[in-house]
Amino acid sequence: MKKFHHKLGYSDIGGIYMGQNIQGDFHSSHTITIIISQEKEFVVEEKDAQPFSCHAVVIQKDVNHKLLTNQGEQITIIHLDPYSEFGLSLNQKSCSVKIHKKGEVEDILPDLNTWFLQSENREEETIELIAKTVACLARSNPQKKPIDSRIVWSMQYIRTSEDEKISLKEMAEQVHLSESRFAHLFKESTELPFRKYVLHCKLLKSLRAMHQQENLTSASFEGGFSDQPHFTRTFKKAFGLRPSSLSKE
């Protein structure tokens, strides 16, 4: 069986990265981040806070942090769309970082290892693994107010559109709102300004291209970035790693 040093899985609800010897920089991603170790504890450091060690952690979106792992330790990182069914089940406004004990994730470890060793990398298998992982970590949360249907439609449009320059004015007109009202409602619903969400979706499109084994130059243009250096800077700011560390080039 083929031995992988790292593996990347992509789906519309989130991505999975498995690898070793991760020494990330501080970064802030607009995703819910799940980190799980197969054996030894890893270290997470939030900006302006004391580092802590754990076997598993759920980090809410937009939390500035970095990850340090032990030599040779297998780590799983899941970046989860915070507005998907699974993301909403882990959303916690009152707790930016939730540490989980090893016993809480032991049931999912064999599934993570099996996925890592498989040579195939189908999207439906990535979704299934994300669902199983979330089920291990999810706790009952208070019922949340549904996101306005106009904003849900706008988010879906942005995620699937091939238009590289979606404007605030265009989206406001599509849902029959003024620019100012749409901008306010979008940020109120998503906790993110419209333009930052557009940038977030551009990154996801580039990640999909990387998952489909496009080279980094092609992946950057697929996401609508003007050049590869711009893509690299944006990617590192969001995920703490250079895209080349995930690429098979």
| Cβ atoms of 86 and 13 closer than 8 Å | yes
Which pLDDT value is given to residue 36?
97
First to last CA, the chain: 21
Tell me how far apart the alpha carbons of residues 103 and 55 are, in angstroms, rounded to a whole number: 9
pLDDT digits (tens, 9 = 90+) for 11-58: 888 999 998 888 778 988 889 999 999 999 999 999 888 999 999 999
Q: Which one is predicted more confidently, 3 or 191?
A: 191
Residue with tokens 């990535």: 126
Domains in the chain: ranges and CATH: 7-137 (2.60.120.280), 149-245 (1.10.10.60)
Whether 20 and 6 have beta carbons less than 8 Å apart is answered as: yes
Distance (Å, whole) CA 193 – CA 163? 19
CA atoms within 13 A on the CB side of 119: 3
pTM score of the predicted model: 0.77
**Per-residue pLDDT for 84 more than 90?**
no
pLDDT exceeds 90 at position 216: no
140-194 pLDDT tens trace: 455 567 789 999 899 989 988 887 788 999 999 999 999 999 999 999 888 889 9
Q: Which residues pair with 58 in a beta bridge?
A: 34, 98
